[in-house]
Amino acid sequence: MPQLHTLLTPLETRMKQLGALCILGVALVTGADIVGRLLNTPVFGSEEIVTFLAGLAIGLSMPFAHTRNSHIRVEILMRRFSKATRKRINLVTDSVTFLFFAVVTWRMFEYGASTAGSGVVSMNLELPEHLIIYALAGCFAAFSMSLLRDVLLFFRREGSA
């Protein structure tokens, strides 16, 4: 457990920083394309670069968004329960979420492999699409690890209580 925590915390920070740069990259590439268009030299394949950068930005932000509790939840019933009951329900929901995203991660790697096998490339720049899928699969893996950490934290706290 401490090893997982030591690994994940700096990883999340790095991913968040990279994600931020990707978003900035999206704005800059699109801006450069507009200026380039005015000068008759648009950025070749800008739409593909923007699409991939935005995809990476979202992928890289997954663990951060989870840690800062960005996702929308319906709180209306849970707040009526005692703290202990809430914790137990959270354990179940966290475990289910972890299992679900472990499956998504696995399927993402499979999808990447099948895309690599068929040699799909982007239309203009001919970028191999499977690289982006693998990168996203890696992001999903990091996100799943963050979810696993929450599950393990429950047992650690229960053990020390």
> Which residues here bind another protein, judged by CB under 8 A?
16, 19-20, 23-24, 26-28, 30-31, 33-34, 47, 50-52, 54-55, 57-62, 64-65, 68, 70-78, 86, 89-90, 92-93, 96-97, 100, 103-104, 107-108, 110-111, 132-133, 136, 140
User: What's the N-to-C CA distance of the chain in angstroms?
Assistant: 17
Nearest to residue 15, comparing CAs of 152, 126, 139? Answer: 139
- Which CB, 76 or 161, lies closer to another protein? 76
- Which CB, 1 or 88, lies closer to another protein? 88
Helix or strand holding residue 38 (H, E): helix 2-38
- Which CB, 8 or 140, lies closer to another protein? 140
Smallest distance from another protein to CB 99, Å: 10
Smallest distance from another protein to CB 2, Å: 26
CA distance 84 to 86: 5
Residue position matching structure tokens 């457990």: 1
Take residue 158 and report the two structure tokens written for it: 């229960």
